[in-house]
Structure formats: structure tokens, C-alpha cells
Amino acid sequence: MKATLSLAACAVAAALLAGCSGGMPTNVDGMLSAGTSLAKAATLSDADVKSLSDQACAESDKTNKIAAANTTYSKRLVKIMSGLKNSDVPNVNAKVYMTKDVNAWAMANGCVRVYSGLMDMMTDDEVRGVLGHELGHVALGHTKKAMQVAYTATAARGAAASAGNGAVAALSQSQLGELGEKLINAQFSQSQETAADDYSFDLLTKNKASTKGLVTAFQKLAKLDGGKSSMFSSHPGSEDRAKHIEQRMSKAS
């Protein structure tokens, strides 16, 4: 949190210096508003995060083709999500994006999206393991932290722009799209990834669903693009994560 607040202070200071150095006229009200946005990013409440997630998810839905409810993909997803009940993530709303990309993600408002490309290469158990992992990032607060980082970056650019163009009262459509992209492509730490893996394992176990799918999902992702899939590109590697789950399975048996 201290680092984020420091970024806010630096951004406002930079905007002040720009106005005092003979550059564009300084809009002080705009700078103060942008500075407030930066400080707010460091302390986004759960309600703030949900609201931003609602907007970012809606914007993402506008730019992607969503599988109709009567399609095989949507019917599969309903079956898959039935094995992920009681996830500690309220208002889960899962849909399929029709794209060959291999990805899946979840936002703090319960918005869960899985790409048809991932479903094409995985079994129901494997997709369920992956989505359990994504729900884990939400339930454990990782997604909220990712939102703070993404929002801070957007607010920082707003501070710079406010030096001549006035403060941005709300995120524009393009900014919401960018915010969504940052969340979708967020990189989590090793400890966060492992915690989300364990959360998925525990959730699957609680629902009496197969945990083996989580192992084979990682193994498939390890082979994708030489193990450099953008989906789980952070450390530890997919192979190591598969072994970790196998160890948990052996202890549970």
C-alpha cells in the first residue's frame, strides 16, 4: 500500500512541475481530482472493486462473441460450474467467449469467462480445475490487488493529462477496455499462484469433483507453445504445479 501511495504523490508532483516549468497551463482542480483518484486506487473498497469489475466485464463482453445458452459450449460450462459450488465468490456469472485463444479468467464481481479454445483442448474436469484456480484468485483477494494496480496506472495517466485538459470524471470506454485487459493479463506472484492452485484443489475436493483434471490441465498447458502459454506464464511452471497437485492427491488418498 505504501508503494501505491508513493506513486500517487509522484504523479501529482510531476503534474505540478509540468505546470510550473512553462509548459501547458496547469489545471489545478484537474490535478487535485486526478491525485484523489490515485490515492483512492490505493484504498479501493470492495464496493469500488465490484463496480469497476462490473464495468470492465461489461466492456469485455461487448467486444467478444458470447456463446448462446443453447450451444454445446454453454451447456458444458453449466455442467462444469456445477462442480464449483460454494466457492466463497458471490454472484458467479460464467460465460464462454467464442475464440480460438486459450484462456480463462474471473473478476471480483463474480464475472467468469472461459474461451472456447481452452474448452476445445481440455476435458470438463480440466476446465473445472482451471476455473477453480481463477475463482481462487478472487476468493483470496489477489484479483482485488490486481485491480488496485490496474486502476492506479489508469489514474496516473489521468494525472498527467489533467495538466492541460482537465480532470477525467470517469473512466472512458477505452479506459475500461484497457482496465479489463490489465486484469485479464494480470501476473500473480509465485505464492499467489500456488495458493490459487491449492484453493482449486480444496474446492474440487469439497464438491467431490475430480482433482486429477487440475494436474492434466497443467500438463497440457506446459506443452502449449513450448510451455510459454500466456495463461499460466508466471512461476512456478506448469509442470511444477502439476507435481504439487499430485503430491496433494497422494497425501489425501
Q: Which residues are catalytic?
A: 134
Upper half-sphere CA count for residue 246 (Cβ side, 13 Å): 11
Helix 124-139 to helix 142-165 angle, to the nearest 10 degrees?
60
CB contact set of 47 (below 8 Å; sequence gap of 6+) = none
Report d(CA 152, CA 4) in Å as an integer: 8
Show the DSSP H helices in 44-141 as ranges: 46-62, 72-81, 116-121, 124-139
Q: Kindly report the backbone phi and psi dihedral angles of residue 66, in degrees, each rounded to the nearest multiple of 5, phi listed first.
A: -95, 135
**Radius of gyration, alpha carbons of the chain:** 20
